Every structure is written in C-alpha cells, then in structure tokens.
Structure 1
Amino acid sequence: MSLLVAVTWETQPWIERFTRHLPGREIVVLGEDFDRSKIRYVATWGPKPGSLDDLPNLEAIFSLGAGVDHLMGYPDLPDAPIVRVAQDDLTHRMSEYVVMHCLMYLRDHARFAAAQRARRWEQDRSPPIAADVRVGIMGFGVLGQDAALKLKMMGFDVAGWSRTPKNVEGFKVYSGESGLDEFLACTDILVSLIPLTPDTRGILNRSLFQKLAQDGRLGGPVLINAGRGGLQVEADILACLDDGTLKAATLDVFEKEPLPEDSALWTNPRVTITPHNAAASEPEATVRYIANQIRRHEAGEPFENLVDRVRGY
C-alpha cells in the first residue's frame, strides 16, 4: 500500500508524520518517481491539475481539512470515495472561535476597547444577557452542532439552519429554502459555517442580510463568517455596514486570500478580521485521523465523513 501526499506546501513534515502513524507503508510525494499503480490513498489539499490522474487502484482521497471545495472543482477528479477530515481538534477550535466572538458582541467589547484607547470611562447600565441574544448557525453539521451546544451552555438562544432537514435534540433546526427566511427573521448573530458549493457561493449578500432581525438587543444584526470566503459578497457587507443593515461583522475568510492591502475591510471600524485561523487544523491530529480511517477501511469498516459528490460536501 502506498499513500500519495499531494499538496502545494512543504511536504517533508507531512511525510514524517504519516511515516510515524502508518509504519511500514510507503509514503510518496508528487515529483518523485513512484509506481502509480501502487497508490491506494491520497492525502491532498489544492492538488495541481493532472497530479491525481492515472491512479488505477485508488481507494480513497483524504482532504487535509474540513472543506472539500478545493476538490470539487478539480478537473477529472478520480472516481474514489472522498473523506473529509472532521476530527475533534478542528471542531473544538471552531467552537472556541464562534463562542469568543459571540461573547465579544454580547458584551460590546469593541465599544469598551475604543473607550479604553480614548481613556474614557463608559458604563452600560442595562446590558443584555446571553439569553436575550438569538444566534443562528447556518450549517448545522458537526461543527455547527458543537458550537451550538457550547453557545447554549453560555445561555444564548440558539437555532440552526441546514439545507436538508435535521432533528437535533434541544435545538430548533430550520431547513431548505422554505425555512431560511423564518430562520433569518429570528437571528441577531448570524454564524456561517456552511460549505462552499455552486448553490451557496455568494449567499451572504444584501438580500440575505435584509432578512435578519432588526429588533434584537444588540442594536442590529451581526455576521460571523468562519466558513468560506466564497460565501460572502464583500461589497454588500461593506454597504450594509454603512447603511445599518448590519451592525458589525467578524470575518475569518475572504473572497481573495490573503486579504489585499487595499481592501476597505481592513479599516472599517465595524469589521473584525482574522487570517483564516478560526479552526486551523493541527497537522498531527489530522494525520492521526487519516491513519485511523485507513485502518478502519482495511478492517472492513466504512469510512467516516464521506463526501456526497452531488451535494458537494
């Protein structure tokens, strides 16, 4: 059995990790001379066109991250199962990010930070509590449900939205186009964790923002996008911040990355920017997860977190 590591970054650390977790297996990388007929598995992120061609005995493709949009657009993607890396390390990191920013908006952190810089003592006599704030999570899979549970523990009023119907104990889950407007109408903080597909590209736009609740305790709706940059229309975000349709936005992902220096998002006081690190996968945990999936498969057990090619996630 050989595993091909097909990435666009430094490969040696990944070879060392896979060698430790899959002892006795041959680990190869693009650019080396190897027998393509021996490749059973591929671990990849952003493969170059042609790099996954002519692998006649391929049994699985592992995406080195929770997202798979980098593969869905790949020309002539091999007809093999695609497995998302959805391990606990990544899930916990995403939940930390979402909870942190929801709490910052709840406690009006930006206003007090500005007051500190101005050396101005500013008190809030009637601040909302978490139960006063409605958080709506778009994308109610593993990541969304974990974030929802932790937000609920903090007291937030949490609901979810999913493209397909889901029953999740303890939460109201809206679904499909028919449920989206109702979901948005009762959302003060919109958290976007949906995958990027042709159907969701550009979904975070003015039309959607106008449907968010305008009667909440935060003084206006807030956007948190920790999913994919292709989901958002940045010109609409800026315009909606200017006219009050949105009160604030936290953005971890962008239409173009790194975010260009001349982007108006950098200097907008209502925008919080982070450099696509909301849930950066810990490499050791990622390799451990893939190694476990290979062992499960070779023991006759099914892969976990298989991607539906039709839906794109």
Structure 2
Amino acid sequence: MNSRNKNKNKNKNKTKSETMGILDDLREQANQQQTVQQDDLATQEQQEQYYQTSILPKMQQIFSYFKELIDYLNIIETPIEVNHYSTRYPALVHLHQQDYKLSTDQHGGIADFEKLTEVYLRFKCLDENEESFTHIVEHAIDADQEKEFLSQHKVSFKQNHSIGTIKNNGISFQISKKIPIIFKFSVDKENSNITLNIQNHDNFEHRTQKINPNQVNEAYLDKLARYILRKDKDFLHIKIDDNSKEKIRKKIHLQKKIHANELKEVAIREKNEQQQQEINKVKNKIKSFIKQLKK
C-alpha cells in the first residue's frame, strides 16, 4: 500500500511539474508578445509624432506651392510644346502640355488639410489637331504586350480586327494622343520620408524619388516646377563622382569575367557530354556486335 501511495504522489508531482512548465512557457510567450506590441505601439506613436511635426508641414507646403502654380498656369492658358515625346510611338511628335489639376486623393478630391498623406498633380500631353493615331504590330503576342503597356500607362486605345494587305499584315491599334501625367507625393511614415512617383512625364517612364522632409523648401520646389514645365531636365539626374564610377567599372568588369567563365564551363560541359554520347554509341555498337556473335 505504501509503495502504491508513493507512486501516486510521484505521478501527481510529475503532472504538476509538467503543468507548471507549460504555464511558464505560455507566460513567457505572452510577456514577449506584449513587449512586441508595446514596442510597436511606441514606434507608431513616434512615427505619428514625426509626421505631425516634420512631414505634414512639408506636405502642406507642397500642396500650397502647386496650388498657386497651377492657378497661374490655368489663367495664362499657354500650352507647353512637347516635341518627340516617345521613342516607342514616333507619331507622338507635336504635343501640348496643359489641363493642370491638383487633388489629395486618387479620385480627384480634396482631403482635410490637417491630415494630408497624398498630393496629386495631374495634367495631360495631347495633340489638339489629331485625337489618335494608328499603330500596327505583326503578331498576336506583340498585340498582348501592346495592350498591357497601354493599360499600364493609362492610355486609351481600340484594337481593330486583324488586317491584311499586299504590303502589310498585322494587328491594328487606334491609340489616343492624350497622355495622362501624374506627380504623386505620398507620406511614408514607416521610413519617415515622402515618396514622389512620376508617371509618363518623359517617354512613358515611371520614376520614383525618396524625399527627406528637410529637402523640401522653396528652392527644391522651384527646381521641381522647372522640371514639370520642361525648363530643366536635370532634376532627376544623379551625379556620380569619379570613385563611384571606378567602382561601377570594376564591378561591370568582374561581372563580365564571371559571365565569360560561366560560358567556358558550359562549353566544356557540353563538349564532355557530346564525347560521352559518342562513347556510349560506340559501347552500344560493340554490345550489339557481341550479341550477334553469340547467336
């Protein structure tokens, strides 16, 4: 009886110990999770504080600057000439830049000035004398790529049925000569900066710039405005010093060397495989000859 009671007590103690171990593990996990949540909350509060004190005033400055700029541009109503806009579509040769609009959301509305997180400057490049042009591609796969490109850049188009003449076979597109251009400023609280996305301003290019709020001042906005009005092409050009150029050259040279070595290895491997195939053929012929002799 005593031995049975001792075994029961041992089992109870063991079960209690295992239970305590599980509780300790769960307690530790819960504490860790609470710590992470508290850290996240503290980070969010810091980000919100930085937004209120450093980013929001700059977003308001951006909005106010371009509001005044487009008010003047729309009063003057003198379109800016844009020649040879696109290398992809030579027909976009003589366009006019006009119709400037400012908003604080993607739908064209105006949000609370004290809660700005986005600023959109929209305008168009268009041909006032011709609404569209015809563009022909040869194959169905080219047509799919064309549709994807035009849709991505928000350019209106119509695809006609396949056409065929003695001189030309292909698929015809009727493409609008109205190119929508967007400069979008958006708040990036997580990285404590402002992101500038530029769509279709030059040759259907999409460019992105990360802006430190301290960069945003009258001089920066004036330079950006000159770029928008096509008076200055150097706004997004990156100046590279001689040391950086030398590093880039060395990196390119190394990549070429690695690529050349890889090509050599591939050539050697292919040669070895061909030789092995020839050897196998000879072996098979010998085996076949031996079998015939045995018969």
Q: Same fold (TM over 0.5)?
A: no
Greater fraction of residues in helix: 2
TM-score with structure 1 setting the length: 0.23
Greater fraction of residues in strand: 2
TM-score with structure 2 setting the length: 0.24
Higher relative contact order (CA 8 A, sep 6+): 1
